[in-house]
Structure 1
């Protein structure tokens, strides 16, 4: 494999979609920086990718729920003299259940990981991309980003931020050499549903594969599409639902999602 000369940073790279992004980018010859809390799993994946693709793979153990997570990662990159050409903000987790029953600290951490760390890393790495005249930012959102989702209130609202944040930057920087993509997958075979405790959180939608999500994302990134919803069924459900009036949409959404509240229970939080 010929190395591309580019370096990609992938958060949440220890499993699922993040690990698949790492493997796909390594196969394209990208050197990698893998970020997650699970340092042992990162080291194992890094060793596999080095052996299989002959690329440089660095690992950074970091809990993205910490307030200074983005600064710590940026400082570590500077200390290792690493410049990032492709940023994949994949790390995240979700919760399901009645909002008043969910752990307040866990909901706070969810926003820190899904929103604050994502925006913080983007802000810290984007200037270097602009200086070099090129760069790519991939933010993993969800089909939940397209409408209110009772019993997934924090998760869906955070993903709505990711989608709109990404499209705003896509428009702002598309003429300055920077590609920005929001990836909005539907239910995917990852650890999310194992931890949440119920596959009812998929709301009856078919499960896709992490490989399929990443393949769609990388094709969309090449075309600088701004956002992509992998899977024809997911695309249809994301776009065919009416957007107005908003209160009506929220009431209809509750009819669809209400079964999750009892199935998930008060501890319904999961890694995504």
Structure 2
């Protein structure tokens, strides 16, 4: 994979991706808004793994910042062999009556950001004849839990279409769909998910990331870490949509995922 670029690298799954990739001897480009946290992480990765760790502070909802990251993906010096589109936020609110600017920022981050960065990465990788794109989706893509489900459903469908287009180029596209994962994600969104779901429903970040990277290495398009969520995903695909809507009406924007 050579160099990996990870968005949302300062916390949660992004942080775990950075550590696992660095300890596997991959150089990393760390992208997030918090420059101080990124610099601290980069120093730790350099010291612990001996890799080149590049810091690229950016707010992916800002178009100028997003373009700077896209330009890094197009660069021929230290070319990026793996893009991990991980940055995301949980809104924890209903759509009706919510702040529209917040909704638009989430759309920009989890849909437009994925589109722009995947476009930049795919173009450069196809030209080189190798590379991989990993988009972080969610089991919520199969549900009807507000705009978060809609964003992740787009990511899932987009990745499948991209994978089909990339067939035979030496470049792959994978979407990982975790369920409930122990990270800062739910706390930052103001969701009391720990109290709402039993302990057995939760996955560890290290297992989710390890499974996702293993699936990238074997060229899988769909990655669902853990047997329990593969079974749950199968059930969600066959459950009547009316039943899903009824469930979501009781728990708006509180779907599993990171």
**TM-score for both structures, normalised by structure 1:** 0.86
Q: Which segments of 5 or more consecutive residues in structure 1 lack a partner in the other structure?
A: none
- Rounded Cα–Cα distance in structure 2 between residues aligned with 1:14 and 1:75: 21
Task: Sort the Cα spacing of 1:76 and 1:133 in 2 relative to 1 into closer, same or farther, 3 A.
Answer: closer
**Distance (Å, rounded) in 1 between the aligned partners of 2:203 and 2:47:** 28
Name the SS for the 1:98 alignment partner.
coil
Decide which of 247, 255, 268 is 2:246's aligned counterpart.
Answer: 255
| Partner-residue secondary structure (3-state), 1:176 | coil
Q: Secondary structure at the match of 1:119?
A: helix
Give the paired residue count.
254
Residue in 2 aligned with 1:211?
A: 206
Correspondence for 1:192: 185
Give the secondary structure class of the aligned counterpart of 1:99: coil
Q: 1:226 to 1:80 in 2, by over 3 A?
A: closer
- 1:96 and 1:201 in contact (8 A); partners too: no
- Which residue of the other structure, out of 212, 233, 242, is the alignment partner of 2:228? 233
Q: What's the RMSD between the two structures over aligned residues?
A: 2.3
1:173 and 1:252, CA in 2 relative to 1: closer, same or farther beyond 3 A? same
Q: Cα–Cα, structure 1 residues 183 and 77, in superposed 2: closer, same or farther, change >3 Å? A: closer
Indicate the SS of the match to 2:165: helix
Unaligned runs of 5+ in 2: none
Q: What are the Cα deviations for residues 120-165 of structure 1, in whole angstroms up to 9, with x where unaligned?
A: 0111121211111100100000001123x2xx32110110111111
Conserved in 1, the CA contact under 8 Å of 2:74 and 2:120? no
Query: Any idea what the Cα deviations from partners look like across 1:163-212, whole Å, max 9, x if unmatched?
Result: 11111111211311012110000011111111222334896361111101
Structure 1 residue 259: deviation in Å?
3.7
- 1:24-35 map, 5 Å: 24-35=20-31
8 Å CA contact 1:70–1:124 kept in 2: the answer is no
